[in-house]
């Protein structure tokens, strides 16, 4: 999972050159709501939008994002078979 290191800093980077979240959304091809939710830390970006953000800001991936390892716990649930009567 890709996570924004510092959402406030990301917002500053994206809007520092007079850009707006709307302009960033248009450039990236994603909705304003989705970009806004990434900038506020509500959602995590997918690979494509994180690359677009890096291109737009001129920053390296590691400057803005980190990858959090997601370990899903798999449980072995035993399904009980019906007992013959």
Average pLDDT over residues 66-82: 71
Q: Give the whole-angstrom CA distance, residue 16 versus residue 66.
A: 22
Enumerate the H helices of 1-72 as residue ranges.
7-15, 21-28, 32-39, 47-57, 61-64
Q: If you average pLDDT over every residue of the chain, what do you get?
A: 88
Q: How many domains does the chain have?
A: 1
The CATH number covering residue 54 comes to: 1.10.260.40
Domain assignment of residue 84, yes or no: no
Q: What is the pLDDT of residue 81?
A: 61
pLDDT tens digit sequence for 1-16: 999 999 999 999 999 8
Of 52, 66, 44, the C-alpha closest to 13 is 52
Report the share of the chain in percent with pLDDT over 70: 84
Torsions phi, psi of 63, nearest 5?
A: -75, -25
pLDDT tens digit sequence for 38-71: 999 999 999 999 999 999 999 999 999 999 987 7
pTM for the complete prediction?
A: 0.76
Write down the residue that tokens 């960033």 correspond to: 24
Report the share of the chain in percent with pLDDT over 90: 72
Domain assignment of residue 48, yes or no: yes
Q: Give the whole-angstrom CA distance, residue 24 versus residue 53.
A: 8
């Amino acid at each position: 999972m890709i996570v924004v290191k510092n959402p406030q800093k990301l917002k500053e980077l994206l809007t520092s050159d007079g850009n707006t979240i709307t302009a960033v959304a248009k450039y990236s091809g994603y909705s304003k709501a989705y970009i806004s939710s990434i900038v506020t830390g509500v959602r995590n970006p997918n690979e494509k939008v994180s690359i677009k953000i890096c291109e737009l800001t001129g920053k390296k991936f590691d400057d803005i994002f980190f990858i959090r390892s997601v370990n899903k716990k798999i449980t072995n649930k035993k399904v009980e078979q019906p007992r013959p009567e």
